[in-house]
Amino acid sequence: MTPSRSRPVHSSQTVPHAGLARCVRRHARTPWRKPPQAVDGPALALLADALRKHDGPLILDSFCGTGMSTAALAERHTDALVIGVDQSAHRLDRAPAVPRNALLLRAHAEAVWRELVASGHHLSAHYLLYPNPWPKPKHLIRRIHGHPAFPLLPRLGGSLELRSNWPVYVEEFGMALHLLGHPSRIAIVAAEEPLSTRFEQKYRASGQALWRSVAHFGSPGQPGVGRGTGLNEARPNGAMKMAAGSATLIVSEEEQTS
């Protein structure tokens, strides 16, 4: 099937949001306390059951859409339980047949992060592939790094990869991790990337550059999991971009693929 076309993200925001540091700091200070939502209940029960039966690596594919990447990850990591999470039943209904070691859940991803942290589970890898960009400046709080649940991500351990076709989003995400005390690396997603998604195919077919931010939080038993100073000193906006440069390495596509 030929992928549909899409336009690049258009936004009046062309640099990281002026309120990013304040927002991330506030969420780092105050744990996310939103009561569990009934709609997530069945998925969380399925998750608990699957975790009870599995004794091996865990991979999470948050915002998995139609689950293409979940299926690919499960095929590649046969010893792992690969969990794909999306809030949209419509998208999940269009999922391909997934391998037995994959589980697709209809839930809010943030509820799954909270459950995994609360039950002491650690991930070997976590993917956030092409979340909605929410490009209007007033929608910062809807972006992953603007959400009160964002500080849960390092506590899940393992590696974390975010991809987006909007470089500002990826840069903000890297800066937000830096504010929590975790370095990350920003790079172009290589053209022959074996892990693809429906949205990635659409963006590529439209000739768009794709960006990734990658961080490593360590594995269980290592002091690195979820560590971080919590609140790195960030300078006022503008200078913040340079401050993040010490922790966020931007590499070229050539370096990335070599």
Ligand X SMILES: C[S@@+](CC[C@H](N)C(=O)[O-])C[C@H]1O[C@@H](n2cnc3c(N)ncnc32)[C@H](O)[C@@H]1O
* Contact footprint for ligand X (CB under 6 A): 63-65, 85-88, 91, 108-110, 129-132, 197-200
- Say which amino acid occupies 133: P
Q: How far is the CB of 249 from ligand X (least distance, A)?
A: 24
State in angstroms the smallest separation of the CB of 164 from ligand X. Answer: 9
Cβ 236 to ligand X shortest distance, Å: 30
Quick one: 81 or 105, whose CB is closer to ligand X? Answer: 105
CB 27 within 8 A of CB 50: no
CA distances (Å), origin 246, targets 11, 91, 185: 27, 39, 10
For 220, the token pair is 């269980």
* CB closer to ligand X, 82 vs 85: 85
Cβ proximity to ligand X, 13 vs 87, nearer residue = 87
Least separation in angstroms between residue 100's CB and ligand X is: 22
CA nearest to 136, candidates 166, 179, 161? 166
Query: CA 222, CA 78: separation in Å to the nearest integer?
Result: 24
> What angle separates helix 167-179 from helix 20-29, to the nearest 10 degrees?
40
Residue closer to ligand X, measured from CB, 132 or 246: 132
CB of 182 to ligand X, least distance (A): 21
Q: Which residue lies nearer to ligand X by CB, 110 or 171?
A: 110
Beta bridge partners of 249: 185
* Closest chain position to ligand X (CB): 65
Output 170 or 240, the one with its CB closest to ligand X: 170
Buried b (16+ CB within 10 A) or exposed e, 183-216: ebbbbbbeeebebbbbbbebbbeeebebbbbbbb
Q: Kindly provide the residue ranges of all beta strands, DSSP E only, lying in 102-155, ordered along the sequence.
A: 102-106, 125-129
CB of 7 to ligand X, least distance (A): 14
